[in-house]
Structure 1
Amino acid sequence: MLALTLHKYFRFTLKIHNYIALFLVLIISSAPVFSANLDREMILKSGFIYNFSRFGKWESDFLNQDSFTICSPDKTFTRVAKITLDHKKVKRLPIVVNEIGIISDINKCSVVFVTKKYYLDWKNRLSQLGNEQVMLIGENKGFIRSGGHINFFILSGKIRFEVSVSNLKKSGLLLSSKVLRLGRIHE
């Protein structure tokens, strides 16, 4: 009788250990999935930014530049964008993706993408950049009111964007009507 009770106890304990092990494996294996979803979103956003750049018009026309530079303070975005936009060109110029800080000289950038993570750090700087010929793209609710040009948002699980035509004009930039039709005009 004691042997039968011990046998049941060990089987029960073994089952619990198996469930715990399975649970731990699921937790550990799902960590890259969260990262993959974030990378997928960054891949899509870098694609959008590439198309905004292709269909954008700058007054300067990049005559004295040897590259089209996309900048962001977000290391994750810059890592993903470097891979995604490798060998791509805008206005016949190769794309360079740089990580920048809040005090960086953004005149070397054609586009600046400010992610949610860095929005509060950049909020005050955005209003000071109104006359620079740099396309300002973000993903925060107040981004356009802070002086940004294009803002990403999620609607029904899809990435959408809104554009401030007046903020673009103040900066000497235009965006093709083809792109404007796809987004929401924010005025």
Structure 2
Amino acid sequence: MLISSGVIRLILLSALLAFSPLVQAQQQAPESELKAAILVNMLLFVDWPTQASQPTDRLTLCYLDSGPVAMVLDHLNGKAIKGKALQVMRVNVNMVTGCHALYVSPNDSTALARVIPSLRTSGVLLLGDSRGYLQRGVMINLDVDDGRIVFDVDLRSARVAGLVMSSKVLRLARKVVE
């Protein structure tokens, strides 16, 4: 008995559809990789004031704790952002003024209270991914909502720090605090 090419195609299509959830699950990036990519891409939509303490030939993204997102950020070191090389580095709470952006992880909750007062007007973009961080002064905070990574923006804190955020990023935000 001969099987027509149409029947063979139908069988192959059915097999592919049956395995597609497995393929999609394997291709989906881990949450830490998605968050790190979003955080780095946010740098494209921010303009910094000229600060003597910040380098002008590169964008410096700092972090305090070496959690999963910070480890992925390290792998993005050297990436070109706005025509400048991205420098990713771990710092302590006393060395954050030389950074363009500071990522604070869920493990940095106690350090955040020490960092916020010194950075209010420093021109440093504060990035985080923990519930409640937006209310504590973090300017862009990631969250997981219905299985998707979303972000909220505290535009007031960004303006006080002298940062200008593109309207493009504000339109994509789940919530903007003005």
Same fold (TM over 0.5): yes
Aligned partner of 2:104 among 108, 114, 123: 114
Partner of 1:53: 43
CA 1:153–1:59 in structure 2 vs 1: closer, same or farther (change >3 Å)? Answer: same
Aligned partner of 1:163 among 138, 153, 156: 153
Larger Rg belongs to: 1
**Aligned-pair distance for 1:86?**
4.2
Higher mean alpha-carbon deviation, 70-79 vs 171-180, is at: 70-79
Partner of 2:170: 180
Residue ranges of structure 2 left out of the alignment (5+ in a row): 1-27
Partner of 2:93: 102
Residue ranges of structure 1 left out of the alignment (5+ in a row): 1-36
Q: TM-score scaled by structure 2?
A: 0.74
Secondary structure of 1:153's counterpart equals strand
The number of residue pairs the alignment matches comes to 148
Q: Is the 8 A contact 1:86 1:95 kept in 2?
A: yes
Report 1:16-165 matches (<5 A): 40-60=30-50, 65-76=56-67, 77-83=69-75, 85-103=76-94, 105-165=95-155
Q: Is the 8 A contact 1:124 1:146 kept in 2?
A: no
**Aligned-pair distance for 1:168?**
0.6
**Aligned-pair distance for 1:170?**
0.3
Instruction: Tell me how large the CA RMSD over aligned residues is.
Output: 2.2
Q: Is the 8 A contact 1:78 1:98 kept in 2?
A: no
Q: Which runs of 4+ in 1 moved over 4 A?
A: 61-64
Aligned-residue sequence identity (percent) comes to: 26
Q: Is the 8 A contact 1:109 1:134 kept in 2?
A: yes
Q: Is the 8 A contact 1:136 1:148 kept in 2?
A: yes
Q: Is the 8 A contact 2:97 2:119 kept in 1?
A: no
Q: TM-score scaled by structure 1?
A: 0.71
